[in-house]
């Protein structure tokens, strides 16, 4: 099912007018547009006969390549799945791979098979964009799975240039969400053909008509062309292996989605042109070393051929291609040559970065560099200076930490190092959000690094002498009874309400705020506490706006360890009346380590290492029989969200500790 083709109506009327009154030689009739805003059209799915207006504009025809210079590759098509988080991209990729018989009948296949990282499987999110290929009706389909979380938007921007079309997945109940807007905006800016898949049609509350209309409105708002707005639609339930061209025509196969993919235009390529390949990713092989990954835009890449690495702002570097690989299902296959339109990996080069262009030595023409939005949040990575420094980690020096961060820059396009603010003992790392940096911290921790982390802060700008800070569109969905608490909390964090919807059939209300990113730091736990864990939150970066003013600090202070030692049950039992504790009996602690959250403002030192004096009249085991209540378990995400401006998180392969910055020096 497709939405009305305004371009077709416009073209027909244009032809009639041109036949009646020929326009001047320097003018043409532009595409007709309806006089009403598209989002207020009475129906986006029914045919319409609204009047059109004619606009006359001066323009020169754009130069186009000669027809014999380009060849259409009918045997290949490249598509990317984009969507808001948890709308089913990875599950859809699983269903397509199974539908194309990429696995044996008796083969055990894990869920989200394209998510290769342990962190991706543990958290249930896609972090890195990944690729695979399958065959359907004689056509090789190259699939790109992208992250759905806004913090990893750089991965989406990195791979969209390689596609022939974009498959937009939208939940059949939720409709377009903040990240849907972001990925759709990027696809529209790159003039990509878009198709809509309404996923999770098995949900009882599915409302596909609402999703189609909402998506159409969103595309009109984002400035999509007439061709882009004439999108095709498929309905699916990836988890149940069902799809159909209409909601009532669902079948137990994915043919409707495959047919949707085959409707995308095939790549127009020039095999005889000089080689052009843009580096879109850097991968590693234990035997081959660093591998270039990207799509060939023009020419042919041969094994053993000489190439040049170029960039508009860098010197050219010569190299030689060693081994070439193409994607084969979930793995890779070695080939002697690859042609324009193929996504390849090859070894042999040592000096290259994402965004560089690989060219033939005879014709060196770099492609435009990749455009990625700038980071909005920064954190300080510091050498561990606690009393327990060096006891649990393998890589502990500032040189180890700096080298690892510089290596991360090679493939993490959304990451930056602020060397102007860095010192020999501290490196400022800038990312797209707290989660973006938290994933990096957790990855380094598992690799054996030991270091300290400062609190996240926003990156401000000076615009015409006025201080600006990043703002985000923040949406919260909560039961109606907690809406008052949510509104009060977000208003105190300088939020401005932009939309509010009433309770639905599940008694859930939705509210949208335009908020400074600074106000969202630490808001997750506060909202979950205020709504008894029922809040569902989504955010999307909207841009920089004037500084919103100072905000309130933390409502509660911290409980601090008074002296270095081992926490005892006796000491902790006495301390738990002062607040909620983070430390368990028998755990080693040091002075100024945070052992809990104070129930009042201000910090409070406590002696949690004191022993209870035992006599002959008391059992020797009585000391460990006390009752401990209300212990908190802080994950790395919780710890980073909790700390204030004068606090740090100590990260080791074994432990995550919180501490005050004061007196964090090694004992001599």
Q: Quote the CA–CA distance of 147 and 89 in Å, as a whole number.
A: 8
Cα-atom radius of gyration of the chain, to the nearest Å? 29
pLDDT band at 350 (very low <50, low <70, confident <90, very high): confident
What pLDDT is attached to residue 43? Answer: 37
Phi, psi of 52 (to 5 degrees): -120, 155
324, 359, 394: which is the final residue of a domain? 359
Per the structure, the complete domain to which residue 645 belongs is given by: 373-457+552-612+628-667
Query: Residue 296 sits in a domain of what CATH number?
Result: 2.40.30.10
The tally of CA atoms less than 13 A away on the side-chain side of residue 330 is 17
Is 31 a residue whose pLDDT tops 50? no
What pLDDT is attached to residue 6? Answer: 42
Note the pLDDT tens digit of each residue in 204-236: 889 999 999 999 999 999 999 999 999 999 999
Give me the mean pLDDT over the 279-291 stretch. Answer: 85
Please, which residues bridge with residue 462 across strands? 467
Give me the mean pLDDT over the 300-304 stretch. Answer: 92
Domain assignment of residue 79, yes or no: yes
Q: Say what the alpha-carbon torsion angle 331, 325, 155, 199 is, to the nearest 10 degrees.
A: -40
Please, which residues bridge with residue 325 across strands? 334, 345
Is 651 a residue whose pLDDT tops 70? yes
Query: Residue 142 sits in a domain of what CATH number?
Result: 3.40.50.300
Note the pLDDT tens digit of each residue in 307-337: 999 988 888 899 999 999 999 888 889 999 9
Note the pLDDT tens digit of each residue in 388-436: 999 999 999 999 999 999 999 888 888 999 888 888 889 999 998 888 9
Residues 166 and 290 in one domain: no
Domain assignment of residue 155, yes or no: yes
Is 16 a residue whose pLDDT tops 60? no
What pLDDT is attached to residue 284? Answer: 81
Please, which residues bridge with residue 44 across strands? none
Q: Which single residue is written with the structure tokens 């596909």?
A: 208
Give the other-Cβ count within 10 Å of 443's Cβ: 16
Domain assignment of residue 130, yes or no: yes
Domain assignment of residue 619, yes or no: no
Q: Which of 70-74, 107-111, 213-217 has the lowest mean pLDDT?
A: 107-111
| Residue 202: burial class (beta carbons within 10 Å; 0-12, 13-18, 19+) | middle
Domain assignment of residue 55, yes or no: no
Residues 307 and 437 in one domain: no
Percent of the chain with pLDDT over 90: 44
Is 44 a residue whose pLDDT tops 60? no
Query: Is the Cβ–Cβ distance between 298 and 274 less than 8 Å?
Result: yes
What pLDDT is attached to residue 662? Answer: 65
**Residue 279 backbone zone (phi > 0: left; psi -120 to 50: alpha; other: beta):** beta
| Residue 303: burial class (beta carbons within 10 Å; 0-12, 13-18, 19+) | middle
Q: What domain count does the chain have?
A: 4
Please state, rounded to an integer, the average pLDDT across all residues of the chain. Answer: 83
Query: Is the Cβ–Cβ distance between 625 and 613 less than 8 Å?
Result: no
Query: Residue 510 sits in a domain of what CATH number?
Result: 3.30.70.240
Is 504 a residue whose pLDDT tops 90? no
Pairing type for strands 130-136 and 76-83 reads unpaired
Domain assignment of residue 222, yes or no: yes
Residues 436 and 419 in one domain: yes
Residues 482 and 438 in one domain: no
Percent of the chain with pLDDT over 70: 86
pTM confidence score: 0.81
Q: Which of 243-247, 284-288, 615-619, 643-647 has the lowest mean pLDDT?
A: 615-619
| Of residues 136 and 505, more confidently modeled | 136
359, 384, 413: which is the final residue of a domain? 359
> 520: which 2 tokens?
């969202």
What pLDDT is attached to residue 24? Answer: 41
Residues 567 and 533 in one domain: no
Is 67 a residue whose pLDDT tops 60? no
Residues 451 and 492 in one domain: no
pLDDT band at 665 (very low <50, low <70, confident <90, very high): low
Domain assignment of residue 59, yes or no: no
Residues 645 and 532 in one domain: no
Q: List Cβ neighbours of 149 (8 Å cut-off, separation of 6 or more).
A: 85, 125, 126, 179, 435
- Collapsed DSSP state (helix, strand, coil) of residue 151: helix
Residues 284 and 250 in one domain: no
DSSP string, 42-100: S-SSS------B--EEE-PPPP---GGG-EE-TTEEEEEEEESTTSSHHHHHHHHHHHT
What pLDDT is attached to residue 536? Answer: 86
pLDDT band at 640 (very low <50, low <70, confident <90, very high): very high
What pLDDT is attached to residue 321? Answer: 92
What pLDDT is attached to residue 11? Answer: 42
Query: Residue 596 sits in a domain of what CATH number?
Result: 3.30.70.870
Residues 350 and 402 in one domain: no
What pLDDT is attached to residue 14? Answer: 41
Q: Quote the CA–CA distance of 531 and 557 in Å, as a whole number.
A: 22
What pLDDT is attached to residue 183? Answer: 86
pLDDT band at 617 (very low <50, low <70, confident <90, very high): low
498, 526, 546: which is the final residue of a domain? 546
Residues 495 and 588 in one domain: no
Domain assignment of residue 51, yes or no: no
Give me the mean pLDDT over the 375-384 stretch. Answer: 94
pLDDT band at 664 (very low <50, low <70, confident <90, very high): low
Residues 476 and 599 in one domain: no
Q: Which of 350-354, 447-451, 544-548 has the lowest mean pLDDT?
A: 350-354
Residues 216 and 77 in one domain: yes
């Amino acid at each position: 099912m497709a939405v009305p083709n305004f371009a077709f109506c416009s073209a027909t009327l244009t032809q009639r007018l041109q036949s009646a009154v020929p326009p001047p030689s320097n003018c043409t009739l532009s595409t007709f547009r309806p006089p009403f805003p598209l989002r207020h059209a009475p129906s986006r799915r029914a045919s319409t006969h609204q009047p059109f207006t004619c606009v006359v504009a001066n323009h020169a025809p754009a130069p186009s390549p000669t027809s014999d210079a380009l060849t259409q590759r009918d045997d290949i098509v490249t598509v990317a799945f984009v969507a808001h988080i948890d709308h089913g991209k990875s599950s859809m990729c699983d269903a397509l791979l199974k539908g194309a018989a990429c696995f044996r009948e008796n083969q055990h296949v894990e869920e989200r098979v394209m998510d290769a990282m342990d962190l991706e499987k543990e958290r249930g999110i896609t972090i890195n964009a990944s690729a695979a290929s399958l065959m359907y009706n004689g056509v090789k389909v190259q699939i790109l799975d992208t992250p759905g979380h806004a913090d990893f938007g750089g991965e989406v921007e990195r791979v969209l240039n390689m596609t022939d079309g974009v498959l937009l997945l939208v939940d059949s109940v939720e409709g377009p969400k903040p990240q849907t807007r972001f990925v759709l905006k990027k696809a529209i800016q790159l003039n990509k053909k878009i198709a809509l898949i309404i996923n999770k049609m098995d949900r009882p509350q599915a409302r596909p008509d609402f999703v189609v209309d909402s998506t159409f409105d969103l595309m009109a708002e984002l400035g999509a062309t007439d061709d882009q707005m004439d999108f095709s639609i498929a309905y699916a339930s990836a988890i149940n292996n069902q799809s159909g061209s209409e909601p009532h025509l669902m079948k137990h196969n994915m043919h409707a989605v495959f047919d949707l993919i085959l409707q995308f235009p095939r790549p127009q390529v020039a095999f005889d042109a000089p080689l052009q390949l843009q580096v879109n990713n850097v991968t590693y092989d234990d035997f081959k070393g660093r591998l270039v990954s990207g799509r060939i835009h023009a020419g042919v890449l041969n094994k053993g051929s000489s190439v040049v690495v170029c960039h508009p702002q860098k010197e050219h570097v010569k190299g030689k291609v060693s081994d070439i690989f193409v994607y084969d299902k979930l793995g890779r296959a070695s080939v002697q040559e690859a042609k324009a339109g193929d996504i390849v990996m090859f070894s042999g080069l040592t000096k290259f970065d994402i965004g560089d262009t690989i060219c033939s030595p005879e014709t060196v023409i770099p492609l435009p560099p990749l455009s990625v939005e700038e980071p909005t949040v920064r954190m300080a990575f510091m050498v561990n200076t606690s009393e327990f420094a060096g006891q649990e980690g393998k890589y502990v020096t500032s040189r180890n930490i700096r080298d690892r961060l510089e290596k991360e820059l090679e493939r993490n396009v959304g990451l930056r190092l602020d060397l102007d603010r860095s010192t020999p003992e501290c490196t400022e790392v800038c990312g797209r959000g707290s989660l973006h940096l938290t994933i990096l911290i957790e990855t380094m921790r598992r690799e054996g690094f030991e270091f300290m982390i400062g609190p996240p802060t926003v990156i401000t700008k000076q615009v015409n002498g006025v201080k600006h800070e990043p703002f985000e569109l923040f949406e919260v969905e909560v039961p109606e009874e907690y809406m008052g608490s949510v509104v009060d909390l977000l208003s105190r964090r300088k939020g401005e309400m932009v939309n509010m919807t009433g309770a639905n059939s599940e008694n859930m209300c939705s509210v949208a705020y335009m908020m400074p990113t600074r106000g969202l730091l630490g808001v997750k736990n506060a909202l979950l506490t205020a709504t008894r864990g029922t809040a569902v939150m989504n955010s999307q970066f909207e841009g920089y706006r004037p500084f919103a003013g100072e905000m309130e600090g933390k409502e509660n202070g911290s409980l601090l360890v008074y002296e270095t030692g081992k926490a005892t049950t006796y000491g902790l039992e006495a301390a738990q009346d002062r607040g909620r504790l983070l430390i368990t009996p028998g755990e080693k602690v040091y002075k100024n380590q945070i052992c809990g959250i104070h129930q009042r403002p201000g910090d409070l030192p406590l002696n949690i290492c004191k022993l209870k004096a035992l006599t002959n009249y008391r059992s020797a085991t009585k000391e460990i029989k006390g009752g401990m209540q209300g212990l908190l378990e802080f994950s790395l995400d919780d710890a980073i969200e909790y700390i204030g401006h004068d606090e740090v998180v100590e990260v080791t392969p074994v432990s995550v500790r919180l501490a005050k910055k004061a007196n964090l020096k090694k004992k001599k």
